[in-house]
Structure 1
Amino acid sequence: MHAYIFPGQGAQFSGMGLDIYEKSNIAQEYFEQANSILGFSITDIMFEGTPEQLKETKVTQPAIFLHSVALAKTLGDRFKPEMVAGHSLGEFSALVANGTLSFEDGLKLVSQRALAMQKACEIQPSTMAAVLGLEDDIVENICAKTPGIVVAANYNCPGQLVISGEVSAINLACEALTTAGARRALVLPVGGAFHSPLMEPAREELAAAIENTLFSEPNCPIYQNVAAKAVSNASDIKKNLVAQLTAPVRWTQSIQQMIKDGAAEFTEVGPGKVLQGLIRKIDRSVTANGAIFEENN
C-alpha cells in the first residue's frame, strides 16, 4: 500500500514553496487563498523571510501546512493515498489530503492552533530537548524521576526521543540522561514545551475551534500521533487532534503500525526530508521518498 506522510514544525526554510508557486497555477491559487484567509502575506515571508521570521510559531505552522497541501494538490491523478499520517502539525495537512478537512478550515485551525500554542509558551518558560542513543523506557524513567514537569514528547525513531517541559526540569533531565549514557541530550531552539502538560491552555482553546469545524468522513484512514493506529471516524479524529497538544507524538509506533497494516511505500509531501530519514531508521524494508512536483498544471 502507498502511504503519504506530512512534516511538522522544523521543516521550514527560507524560499519554501516558491518553486511550485512560480510553476503551478493550482499551487498559486492555494497560496493566494491562504494570504486572504490569514489576513497577511504569508507568501512574502515564505519566499523572502529570514530564518528568524519563519521560526515564529504563528508563521511556521501555517507555512508548512500551506506548502504541504499545495504540493499535494499539484500531484493530480498521481495522488491516491491509501493511508496518511502527519508529524504533529502535519496531521492537519494529512486530514486535508484524505478529505476530512477542507483547505480553508484546515488553514484556519492551524492558524488558531499556532496562536494558542504561542500564548501557552508565553505563560511559562519551557523548552524541548533531543535525546539520542538511549532506550525509550530509560528516558521515560528519568523524566518521571526528575523534579518539575518533563515528559517524553516525540518518539521519532528508535534511539531518538524528544523530551518537553519546564526549562529547569529539562536541564536536570539532560544531565541525568547524559550520565545514563545518552549519546546526546541537546536543548532545542524552540519556543516552548510542545506535547506536554504545559500546552493545556492551548488544548482548551483548540478544542473549542475543532468542535465548531466540519469534519467529513475520510476517504482513507489516518494514523494519528496519539492513537498510533488507523482512525477513520470523524469524531475520533477530532478527539485525537485535541489530545495531541498535550500528549506525545508516537511517530515510531504509528509508522510501525502502518507497515504492519500493509504500507510498503511512503511519500513525504511538504518541505524537507526529515520524515523520510526517520522511516529509514524505523524500518529499512520499506521505500521512503519525497513527492516529485511536475509542471503543467
Structure 2
Amino acid sequence: MSLPFGEDNPAISPKRMNCMKIAVLFPGQGSQYIGMSQAFIENDPECAALMALAEDVCELPLTALCVEGPMEELTRSVNLQPAITATNMVCWQALRSALPADAEVAYFAGHSLGEYAALYAAGVLGAEETLRLVAKRGALMDREGQLHPGGMRAVLGLDIGTIEQIVDAYVGEGCVTVANHNTPQQIVISGTVAALDAVDPALVEAGGKVIALNVSSGNHSPLVADAVPDFSAFMADIKFSTPVQPVLFNVSAAEEKDGEIMKGMMASQIASRVRWCEIIEKMLADGVDTFIEVGPKTVLKGMMRKIVPRGVKVLSLQVDSPETLQACLAKLEA
C-alpha cells in the first residue's frame, strides 16, 4: 500500500496487523506544542481540509494558533481544547490513511479532552459534531475557571488508596479531590488553592512528592461542576452513534454503547475523575499488546511505562508528524 509521505515507506501487511491487538489512544490538555499538526496539514490535502473544517466550526484561527502560537494564547482553554482535538483528528486521519483498509483496532480511548477524538475515531461522532462539542466545552470550562479559580497538583510515589484517605480527611474550606488516576503512583489532585495547600504536608509526610501544575483552574473537580448541566443541554440535539469499536470511557473505565448514556458520561466527565490507569489495565488484561498514541507529544506513552507490569511486553508507539508516522509503520511491520 502506498503511503502519503514518500516512496520509501514500508507497506504494512494486513496479515501482520491482524496478529496484533491494537489500542489507539488520544492525548488531552498538556500535550500541546507550537508547530503541532503543521507538517500533516501542509503535506496532506485531507488533513488540511479537516483543519479548515475545524476553523470554520469553532470560528477560531486554529492553524495559526497551532503553528505559530503564541503559547499563552494557545493554552487558554477556549483555544486549546479545539486546537488539541483538531490536531488529534488530523493525526488520526494521517495514520488511518496509511494503514490497510481492513486493519482492526480493538479499543479507542482518550485522556480527558482526548476522549472526544476517540469518539470521533470510533464513529460515535462526526467531525463537525466533535468540534462543536469541544469548542463549547472549552468555553464553559474557561468560564468556570474564571468564576471559581483553583489549581491542580501531581502527586508522585503514593498509591491511589493512600491519596484518597488523605484527601477525604480534609474538612476545611474549599474542596480537594482526586482528578486523574494516571498511573499506579502518579495521581493528580484538584481543587481550591487553600485546600491543596492544606493537604500537601500530609502527602509529603506519607512519602509523596507534590508538583504544582501550571493551571489556574481545578478541572475534574466540583469547581467546574456548574459547566455540567449547561454542557448537557448543549449536547441534547447531537446524535451519539454506537461505536464501531469499543471505547473505554474516562468516567467508568468501561465500554458503553447507548447514545444517551454516553452523553451523560461526557457531560459528567468535566467534573469527574479520569480513570486512565484503570483503562490501560483493562486493555492489558484483555490482551492488548500494541498501543498507538495519536496526537501531540508522548505523554501517554510515558504513562504506559509506569502502568505496564514488569515482564509484560507491549509495543508502545506514537504519531504526530510524518516522521513519527513512518517510524510507527516501520515498527508495526518489524
TM-score by length of 2: 0.85
Tell me the number of residue pairs that the alignment of Structure 1 and Structure 2 aligns: 293
Secondary structure, aligned partner of 2:33: coil
| Residues 218-257 of structure 1: pairs in structure 2 closer than 5 A | 218-257=243-282
1:129 and 2:129 correspond: no
Distance 2:159 2:240 in 1: 37
Distance 2:131 2:325 in 1: 22
Task: Give the conservation status (yes or no) of the 8 Å contact 1:20–1:293.
Answer: no
Question: Deviation at 1:77?
Answer: 5.6
1:154 and 2:180 correspond: yes
| Structure 1 stretch displaced more, 6-15 or 70-79 | 70-79
TM-score by length of 1: 0.95
- Give the aligned partner of residue 289 of structure 1: 317
Question: Deviation at 1:261?
Answer: 2.0
Given candidates 181, 190, 197, the residue that maps to 1:171 is 197
Given candidates 49, 53, 56, the residue that maps to 1:29 is 49
Given candidates 92, 114, 137, the residue that maps to 2:116 is 92
> Which whole-Å deviations, capped at 9, do the CAs of 1:210-235 have from their partners, x for residues lacking one?
22211111101100011112223322
| Structure 1 stretch displaced more, 111-120 or 190-199 | 190-199
Distance 1:77 1:12 in 2: 24
Secondary structure, aligned partner of 1:153: strand
1:140 and 2:160 correspond: no
- Give the aligned partner of residue 113 of structure 1: 137
Given candidates 79, 86, 91, the residue that maps to 1:71 is 91
Distance 2:269 2:216 in 1: 17
> Matched residues, percent identical?
34
Distance 1:105 1:80 in 2: 24
Gaps spanning 5+ residues in structure 2: where?
A: 1-20, 327-334
- Give the aligned partner of residue 62 of structure 1: 82
Distance 2:240 2:301 in 1: 28
Task: Give the conservation status (yes or no) of the 8 Å contact 1:266–1:289.
Answer: yes
| Structure 1 stretch displaced more, 48-57 or 158-167 | 48-57
Distance 1:212 1:201 in 2: 20
Task: Give the conservation status (yes or no) of the 8 Å contact 1:20–1:71.
Answer: yes
Secondary structure, aligned partner of 1:293: helix
Give 1:113's aligned amino acid.
Answer: R
Distance 1:288 1:203 in 2: 34
> Which whole-Å deviations, capped at 9, do the CAs of 1:68-102 have from their partners, x for residues lacking one?
11111122161642210000000000000000000
Secondary structure, aligned partner of 2:226: helix
Distance 1:86 1:240 in 2: 14
> Which whole-Å deviations, capped at 9, do the CAs of 1:85-136 have from their partners, x for residues lacking one?
0000000000000000001000010010000011111112211100000111
| Structure 1 stretch displaced more, 152-161 or 223-232 | 223-232
Task: Give the conservation status (yes or no) of the 8 Å contact 1:174–1:186.
Answer: no
Give 2:266's aligned amino acid.
Answer: L
Moved over 3 A (4+): none
Task: Give the conservation status (yes or no) of the 8 Å contact 1:155–1:249.
Answer: yes
What value does the CA root-mean-square deviation take over the aligned residues?
1.3
